[in-house]
Structure 1
Amino acid sequence: MKLLFGLFGAALSMPVASIAGICSLEFGYVSSIRQALGVGVLVGSVVLLMALILFFAGIPATLHRLRLQTSPSN
């Protein structure tokens, strides 16, 4: 399940980053487009890092499940 959450988070990273940049500019947290792009890059990097951690955390369970399916039953 962690593997799927990691993939889902990676797919959502770009839309979330662009929305964060746009909202920071619209709500007055930043004063220029360059700063809004910086906010978007920062938010996108954090979301991608969290997705990568979840993806790597889910790999051992997935490999274990695959080994159980492919092992010959006695």
Structure 2
Amino acid sequence: MIRLPRHRKQLSELRFLALSTLIEAYGLAVVTRNELSEHAMSDEPLKAEYTDKCQAIEDEVVTLLTNISPRFVN
């Protein structure tokens, strides 16, 4: 799950395809970032890029949550 504890309830109640797609992309980025971090010989710029991607996705989710229409909430 995305590291957004203040938004957990709102995230669990949403039915919004764009958000689902972002969460899936976030999951893939986190797995890749973690795998790169586990290898001592990993490419540092690539690790930094994935860390930045994860943060950018989290920021986008917060933006979506603050602007979402109530009709997308269960």
How does the TM-score come out when normalised to structure 2?
0.47
How does the TM-score come out when normalised to structure 1?
0.47
* Structure number with higher helix proportion: 1
